[in-house]
Amino acid sequence: QVQAIESGGDLVQPGGSLKLSCTVSGLNFDDYPLGWFRQVPGQERDGVACITWNSRSTHYDPSVKGRFTISRDNANDTLHLQMNSLKVEDAAMYYCAPVMLRYGDCTFSPSTTTWGKGTLVTISS
C-alpha cells in the first residue's frame, strides 16, 4: 500500500519561502512520476506540480509557475517542493502522491486513492 509522509509546512508571511518534503513508501520510488497537490477546506484537491521519474519533465499549475519548483531525490526516495514568493492564496494542506503518465509526461491525476496526512502551509502577516 502506498504511504506518503509530507513535512515542512509552517506559518510564513506573504512573500516568504518554504520547502516541503515527502517520502513515499509502498512502491519503487524511482519508477514513478510524482506530484504535489493542495486542498483548502470545502474545495477539491488540486494538482500543483508534477515530475517524471527521471526529473526530465515537470509541470506546474499556472498559479504557481515561476514561484514553485518541484524536485526529487531518487537516492533518498524524497520529493520536494520549493515554494517562493508565497501568497495568501497558497495557504492550504499540501499532499504528495504518485501520478499518472500521459504520452510519457506527468499529469495531475493521482494514481493512488491513498493519501497521507498532508502538511499545512499557512500564510499570514
Alpha-carbon dihedral angle through residues 44, 91, 61, 28, given to the nearest 10 degrees? -80
> Per 3-state DSSP, what percentage of the chain is helix, strand, and coil (rounded to 5)?
5, 50, 40
- pLDDT at residue 26, rounded to an integer: 87
| C-alpha dist (Å) from residue 70 to 19, 42, 124 | 10, 26, 23
Give the percent of the chain with pLDDT over 70. 100
Closest C-alpha to 14, from 69, 66, 90: 90
- pLDDT at residue 84, rounded to an integer: 98
Number of H helices, E strands in the chain: 0, 11
Is the predicted pLDDT of residue 122 greater than 90, yes or no?
yes
- pLDDT at residue 42, rounded to an integer: 94
For the residues 21-50, what does the mean pLDDT come to? 95
- pLDDT at residue 2, rounded to an integer: 86
Closest C-alpha to 38, from 87, 114, 94, 90: 94
For the residues 26-40, what does the mean pLDDT come to? 94
For the residues 17-27, what does the mean pLDDT come to? 94
The bridge status of strand 11-12 relative to strand 119-123 is parallel
